[in-house]
Amino acid sequence: MKKILTGLFITSALLGGCAKKATEESQSEKIGGELTVVTNRTDADKLFEKIEKGFIEKYPEVKDIKWEAVADYDSNIMTRMTSDDYGDVLFVPFSMAGMPNEYPNYFESLGKVDEMTSDYLDVTEADFEDKVYGLPTALNSLGIIYNQELFDEAGIKEVPTTVPTFIEAAKKIKANTGSTPFYTNYQSVAIWAGALTSFGGEQFKSATLKEGDAFAKGQAIRQVMDLFYELASNKLIEEDPITLDSQAAQQKLAEGEIAMLMSGSQDVIPIQALAKDKKSKAIKIMNFPVETKGKTSLPLGASGVVGVSNKSANKTTARAFLDYFISGESGYAVDANGMSPVKADLTKEQQQTIEDSNVILTVATEKPEDDATYSKIAEEAGVARLTDVLQQVINIGLYPEKNEPYTDYVASLSKTWQEAAKLHAE
């Protein structure tokens, strides 16, 4: 009996021991050894192979890089992060943006915000108390991708820069061309969260907190909701939003059946390639139809943010890899049809665009406590993600007789927000 018991304990101890070994290795200061990189790209094995080769060429001491691609990244990595083993370099899950105070518990600080701003663009994607915990892998702008041919056919001379002219343009497209003016992307309408800074400014969250109601007229969320309501209730969107997926919609945009859709600049080239002549110059991107200081703004954001795990056994190498990964050298940004966040690596053309436009970041630059309060209220009110709200607005617009009126819906949202705000008032 005893023998068996001891046997059992030894086996379990051995099993447990294996898992622990990795973390007990001593911290080395030299760049070398092995790295595990956890990414959200399941489609980029070849690209990663190339990056690995380039990195090892630069630092021959590095033996191997293990790539782990995780599907449905945000929810899976969050579960995995409750353990100690989540790679040396990994993408920072976007859902952590609502709780910035958690960054130091999981990620290594990469530097101070004001020091890094001089060398990098958009360093505040993942920051807390003046420290940076993640840097963008590639920068893209958000906007409305449109088909110039349909605009010409509808007689629209200038790209709309305000909401009223935008609606007017959509009406013209419907009347003059018969195409669908705007695709809502119902299934992943949450991407509009990136448009909020364009509508409400980089500090829209603290502005909303001051106002006390995110659904009051003129607030960023409300402006986007109103835009959707106008479009939907005037039947300026696709006939059946639920069944039309974004792949099919992009194809239709290239073929001129849909005039506009919201997306990132990384999609322009792929959509151009979908057109009949394979490289349609008619597919272009415009800024959101809202003006600040008499000009529309160019909303820049990261398609991915990458950081170093604070449980990594090889932090120096991990940091070196991160720097290599986001630089122009690795080719990751180019592959993502974006630009590198490293200022020194920008092309002349890119520098020019940035200087000429009203650059605005898609991630609000707020004080962490404002950020946290805002997220808490949004979570309490059940509107932490825009999906549910915007989907409901689309439904109300399309089927007004089968839903509560839009004004009632907004009023009920206002009420829940104000109640939640009272709960979290400090």
Partner 1 sequence: MLNNISLQGKRERRVIFCFLFFPVVLLCLFGIWPIVNLIYLSFTSWNGISESKEWVGFANYFKILQDPTYLTIFKTNLYYLVSGLLQMVVAMYFAIILSFKTWGQSFFRASFILPLLISGVAISMMFRLFFTGEGAFDQLLTFLGLEKFIGMWLGDPERVNYTLAGISLWRNIGRSFLLYLGAIQSIDPAYYKVAEMEGATFWHKVRYIILPNITTVLTLDFILLTIGVVSVFEMPFILMNGSNGTATVLVKTMKLAFDNKKFGMAASLSVLLTLVIALLTIIQRYVVIKRERRQL
Q: Contact between 379 and partner 1 (CB under 8 A)? A: yes
Q: Contact between 98 and partner 1 (CB under 8 A)? A: yes
Among 26, 27, 82, 83, the residue binding partner 1 under the rule CB under 8 A is 82
Q: Contact between 9 and partner 1 (CB under 8 A)? A: no
Q: Which of 282, 185, 156 is nearest to 271 (CA)?
A: 282
CA separation for the pair 259, 176 (Å, rounded)? 12
To partner 1, the closest distance from the beta carbon of 26 in angstroms equals 26
H/E element holding 358? Answer: strand 358-361
Write out the DSSP string of 147-198: EHHHHHHHT--S---SHHHHHHHHHHHHHHH-SEEEE--GGGGGGGGGGHHH
- Choose the binding region for partner 1 from 115-123, 233-241, 271-279, 295-303 (rule: CB under 8 A): 233-241
Q: Contact between 345 and partner 1 (CB under 8 A)? A: no
Instruction: Give the residue with the Cβ less far from partner 1, 318 or 398.
Output: 398
To partner 1, the closest distance from the beta carbon of 1 in angstroms equals 6
Contact 100, 127 (CB under 8 A): yes
Q: Contact between 78 and partner 1 (CB under 8 A)? A: yes
Bridging pattern class, strands 295-308 and 111-112: unpaired
- Choose the binding region for partner 1 from 93-101, 218-226, 272-280, 322-330 (rule: CB under 8 A): 93-101
Bridging pattern class, strands 62-69 and 33-39: parallel
Among 350, 357, 387, 418, the residue binding partner 1 under the rule CB under 8 A is 387
CA separation for the pair 258, 181 (Å, rounded)? 6
Q: Which of 346, 144, 171, 355 is nearest to 253 (CA)?
A: 144
Q: Contact between 240 and partner 1 (CB under 8 A)? A: yes
Q: Contact between 244 and partner 1 (CB under 8 A)? A: yes
To partner 1, the closest distance from the beta carbon of 48 in angstroms equals 27
To partner 1, the closest distance from the beta carbon of 152 in angstroms equals 28
To partner 1, the closest distance from the beta carbon of 385 in angstroms equals 5
Q: Which of 188, 183, 185, 184 is nearest to 74 (CA)?
A: 188
Q: Kindly determine how many residues on this chain lie close enough to bind partner 1 according to the rule CB under 8 A.
A: 37
Which distant-in-sequence residues (6+ apart) come within 8 Å of 141 by Cβ?
A: 264, 265, 285, 287, 298, 299, 300, 301
Q: Is 279 helix (H, G, I), strand (E, B) or coil?
A: coil
Among 239, 349, 355, 426, the residue binding partner 1 under the rule CB under 8 A is 239
Residues of this chain that interact with partner 1 (CB under 8 A) are 1, 4, 8, 75, 78, 81-82, 95-96, 98-99, 102, 105, 186-187, 239-245, 375, 379-380, 382, 384-385, 387-388, 391-392, 395, 398-399, 402-403
